[in-house]
Homo-oligomer: A and B are copies of this chain.
Amino acid sequence: MVRKHLPKPSSIPEPTLVRLTIYARSLRDALGDGQTVISSDDLAMRAGVNAAKVRKDLSHMGSFGRRGVGYDAALLLETIVQAMGQTKERSYVIVGAGKLGSALLGYNGFHGKGFMAVGAFDTDPSKIGRSIGGITVMPVDELERFVMAEGVDIGIVTVPAPAAQKITDTLVRGGVKAILNFAPTVVVVPGCILCRHVELSSELEVLAHYLNSQGD
Protein backbone atom coordinates (compact mmCIF):
# COMPACT_ATOMS: atom_id res chain seq x y z
CA MET A 1 0.00 0.00 0.00
CA VAL A 2 1.22 3.44 -0.79
CA ARG A 3 1.32 5.54 2.27
CA LYS A 4 2.25 9.15 2.27
CA HIS A 5 4.32 9.64 5.38
CA LEU A 6 4.24 12.84 7.36
CA PRO A 7 7.29 14.98 7.01
CA LYS A 8 9.98 13.73 9.34
CA PRO A 9 11.49 16.20 11.82
CA SER A 10 13.60 17.67 9.08
CA SER A 11 12.35 16.67 5.71
CA ILE A 12 12.58 20.27 4.64
CA PRO A 13 15.19 20.57 1.89
CA GLU A 14 18.09 22.79 2.66
CA PRO A 15 17.58 25.37 -0.10
CA THR A 16 14.08 25.77 1.30
CA LEU A 17 15.43 26.28 4.82
CA VAL A 18 17.68 29.07 3.61
CA ARG A 19 14.81 30.73 1.79
CA LEU A 20 12.53 30.39 4.82
CA THR A 21 14.89 32.64 6.75
CA ILE A 22 14.59 35.20 3.96
CA TYR A 23 10.81 34.92 3.91
CA ALA A 24 10.83 35.52 7.66
CA ARG A 25 12.73 38.73 7.20
CA SER A 26 10.49 39.80 4.33
CA LEU A 27 7.45 39.15 6.50
CA ARG A 28 8.87 41.32 9.28
CA ASP A 29 9.32 44.05 6.69
CA ALA A 30 5.77 43.59 5.41
CA LEU A 31 4.35 43.67 8.93
CA GLY A 32 6.37 46.80 9.55
CA ASP A 33 4.70 48.30 6.48
CA GLY A 34 1.34 47.57 8.10
CA GLN A 35 0.55 44.66 5.79
CA THR A 36 -1.41 41.90 7.52
CA VAL A 37 -2.08 39.65 4.53
CA ILE A 38 0.49 38.72 1.91
CA SER A 39 0.27 36.76 -1.33
CA SER A 40 2.92 34.37 -2.60
CA ASP A 41 3.48 36.85 -5.39
CA ASP A 42 4.17 39.74 -3.04
CA LEU A 43 6.36 37.63 -0.77
CA ALA A 44 8.24 36.37 -3.81
CA MET A 45 8.94 39.92 -4.93
CA ARG A 46 10.21 40.92 -1.50
CA ALA A 47 12.39 37.84 -1.22
CA GLY A 48 13.72 37.98 -4.76
CA VAL A 49 12.41 34.58 -5.91
CA ASN A 50 9.41 33.36 -7.94
CA ALA A 51 5.94 32.73 -6.56
CA ALA A 52 5.83 29.03 -7.37
CA LYS A 53 8.91 28.48 -5.27
CA VAL A 54 7.40 30.40 -2.38
CA ARG A 55 4.28 28.25 -2.41
CA LYS A 56 6.24 25.01 -2.72
CA ASP A 57 8.53 26.07 0.11
CA LEU A 58 5.65 27.02 2.39
CA SER A 59 3.82 23.79 1.61
CA HIS A 60 6.55 21.91 3.48
CA MET A 61 5.12 23.30 6.69
CA GLY A 62 1.46 22.57 5.91
CA SER A 63 -1.32 24.55 4.29
CA PHE A 64 -2.65 27.63 5.94
CA GLY A 65 -2.95 30.19 3.20
CA ARG A 66 -6.39 31.27 2.03
CA ARG A 67 -7.13 30.71 -1.65
CA GLY A 68 -8.08 33.89 -3.39
CA VAL A 69 -6.65 35.89 -0.49
CA GLY A 70 -3.11 35.03 0.57
CA TYR A 71 -1.36 34.29 3.83
CA ASP A 72 -1.87 35.87 7.22
CA ALA A 73 1.51 37.55 7.55
CA ALA A 74 1.83 37.24 11.32
CA LEU A 75 0.73 33.62 11.36
CA LEU A 76 3.04 32.75 8.50
CA LEU A 77 5.97 34.39 10.24
CA GLU A 78 5.26 32.49 13.42
CA THR A 79 4.97 29.23 11.51
CA ILE A 80 8.33 29.77 9.85
CA VAL A 81 10.01 30.69 13.13
CA GLN A 82 8.56 27.52 14.62
CA ALA A 83 9.70 25.37 11.71
CA MET A 84 13.19 26.86 11.84
CA GLY A 85 13.41 25.87 15.47
CA GLN A 86 13.90 29.35 16.79
CA THR A 87 11.63 28.72 19.70
CA LYS A 88 14.49 27.48 21.77
CA GLU A 89 17.22 29.95 22.68
CA ARG A 90 20.68 28.88 21.53
CA SER A 91 23.94 30.01 23.07
CA TYR A 92 27.11 30.45 21.07
CA VAL A 93 30.71 31.45 21.49
CA ILE A 94 32.91 33.13 18.94
CA VAL A 95 36.52 32.04 18.75
CA GLY A 96 38.75 34.59 17.08
CA ALA A 97 38.04 38.16 18.11
CA GLY A 98 39.52 39.75 15.01
CA LYS A 99 37.57 41.92 12.61
CA LEU A 100 35.29 39.17 11.40
CA GLY A 101 34.62 37.82 14.87
CA SER A 102 33.85 41.32 16.10
CA ALA A 103 31.58 41.91 13.13
CA LEU A 104 29.60 38.77 13.92
CA LEU A 105 29.41 39.64 17.63
CA GLY A 106 27.71 42.87 16.70
CA TYR A 107 25.66 41.40 13.87
CA ASN A 108 21.94 41.76 14.20
CA GLY A 109 20.35 38.46 13.39
CA PHE A 110 23.09 36.58 15.15
CA HIS A 111 22.60 38.66 18.19
CA GLY A 112 18.80 38.64 18.30
CA LYS A 113 16.29 36.02 17.10
CA GLY A 114 16.89 33.29 19.60
CA PHE A 115 20.68 33.38 19.52
CA MET A 116 22.77 34.55 22.42
CA ALA A 117 26.49 35.23 22.40
CA VAL A 118 27.89 34.05 25.72
CA GLY A 119 31.61 34.31 25.12
CA ALA A 120 34.42 35.44 22.86
CA PHE A 121 37.92 34.03 22.80
CA ASP A 122 41.30 34.91 21.36
CA THR A 123 44.98 34.13 21.83
CA ASP A 124 46.14 37.73 21.37
CA PRO A 125 46.89 39.19 24.85
CA SER A 126 46.09 42.67 23.58
CA LYS A 127 42.52 41.58 22.83
CA ILE A 128 41.90 39.61 26.00
CA GLY A 129 39.86 41.54 28.53
CA ARG A 130 38.47 43.93 25.94
CA SER A 131 34.72 44.12 25.59
CA ILE A 132 33.15 43.70 22.16
CA GLY A 133 29.41 44.15 21.85
CA GLY A 134 29.04 43.64 25.58
CA ILE A 135 31.06 40.41 25.58
CA THR A 136 34.47 40.25 27.22
CA VAL A 137 37.21 38.50 25.27
CA MET A 138 38.71 35.57 27.18
CA PRO A 139 41.90 33.58 26.54
CA VAL A 140 41.54 30.49 24.36
CA ASP A 141 43.04 28.41 27.19
CA GLU A 142 39.73 28.76 28.95
CA LEU A 143 37.60 27.84 25.94
CA GLU A 144 37.04 24.16 26.64
CA ARG A 145 36.28 24.65 30.33
CA PHE A 146 33.93 27.54 29.58
CA VAL A 147 32.01 25.71 26.87
CA MET A 148 31.56 22.71 29.12
CA ALA A 149 30.57 24.70 32.20
CA GLU A 150 28.08 26.86 30.35
CA GLY A 151 26.71 24.12 28.12
CA VAL A 152 27.28 26.20 25.01
CA ASP A 153 25.33 25.00 21.97
CA ILE A 154 27.26 26.42 19.02
CA GLY A 155 30.86 27.41 18.33
CA ILE A 156 31.61 30.00 15.68
CA VAL A 157 35.15 29.79 14.33
CA THR A 158 36.73 32.96 12.96
CA VAL A 159 40.39 32.18 13.52
CA PRO A 160 43.06 31.97 10.80
CA ALA A 161 43.01 28.78 8.74
CA PRO A 162 46.00 27.09 10.41
CA ALA A 163 44.33 27.29 13.84
CA ALA A 164 40.84 26.25 12.77
CA GLN A 165 41.08 22.50 13.23
CA LYS A 166 42.62 22.75 16.72
CA ILE A 167 39.95 25.22 17.84
CA THR A 168 37.24 23.03 16.36
CA ASP A 169 38.57 20.03 18.27
CA THR A 170 38.58 22.06 21.48
CA LEU A 171 34.99 23.15 20.93
CA VAL A 172 33.95 19.56 20.28
CA ARG A 173 35.70 18.35 23.44
CA GLY A 174 33.90 21.09 25.32
CA GLY A 175 30.62 19.64 24.09
CA VAL A 176 29.20 22.02 21.50
CA LYS A 177 26.62 20.41 19.26
CA ALA A 178 27.36 22.49 16.19
CA ILE A 179 30.17 24.42 14.54
CA LEU A 180 29.90 27.35 12.17
CA ASN A 181 33.25 27.71 10.43
CA PHE A 182 34.33 30.92 8.73
CA ALA A 183 37.99 29.96 8.49
CA PRO A 184 39.14 29.43 4.91
CA THR A 185 39.83 25.74 5.38
CA VAL A 186 37.88 22.53 5.70
CA VAL A 187 37.59 21.21 9.25
CA VAL A 188 36.60 17.70 10.21
CA VAL A 189 34.23 16.92 13.05
CA PRO A 190 32.78 13.72 14.51
CA GLY A 191 29.63 12.58 12.73
CA CYS A 192 27.39 13.53 15.61
CA ILE A 193 28.41 17.20 15.42
CA LEU A 194 26.78 19.52 12.91
CA CYS A 195 29.15 21.68 10.94
CA ARG A 196 28.60 24.39 8.37
CA HIS A 197 31.30 26.13 6.43
CA VAL A 198 30.97 29.67 5.10
CA GLU A 199 33.36 30.35 2.22
CA LEU A 200 33.58 34.10 1.99
CA SER A 201 36.30 34.20 -0.63
CA SER A 202 34.48 31.84 -2.99
CA GLU A 203 31.81 34.45 -3.49
CA LEU A 204 34.17 36.95 -5.03
CA GLU A 205 35.90 34.30 -7.12
CA VAL A 206 32.65 32.94 -8.52
CA LEU A 207 31.56 36.48 -9.35
CA ALA A 208 34.84 37.06 -11.18
CA HIS A 209 34.35 33.87 -13.15
CA TYR A 210 30.96 35.00 -14.39
CA LEU A 211 32.37 38.43 -15.24
CA ASN A 212 35.02 36.82 -17.42
CA SER A 213 32.66 34.37 -19.05
CA GLN A 214 30.34 37.24 -19.94
CA GLY A 215 33.15 38.71 -21.99
CA ASP A 216 34.45 40.99 -19.24
Interface segment out of the listed A69-77, A110-118, A121-129, A140-148:
A110-118
Total contacting residues, chain A, CB less than 8 A:
66
Q: Give the copy number.
A: 2
Chain A positions near chain B (C-beta within 8 angstroms):
9-10, 12, 14, 17-18, 21-22, 25-26, 46-48, 83-86, 88, 90, 92, 98-100, 102-104, 106-110, 113-115, 153-154, 156, 177-178, 180, 184-186, 188, 194, 196-216
- Does A9 lie within 8 Å of B213, measured CB to CB? yes
- Does A209 lie within 8 Å of B99, measured CB to CB? no
- Does A199 lie within 8 Å of B86, measured CB to CB? no
14 A-B residue pairings within 8 Å (CB atoms): A10-B213, A17-B205, A17-B209, A21-B201, A21-B205, A48-B188, A84-B206, A85-B209, A86-B208, A98-B103, A99-B99, A104-B200, A115-B208, A153-B211
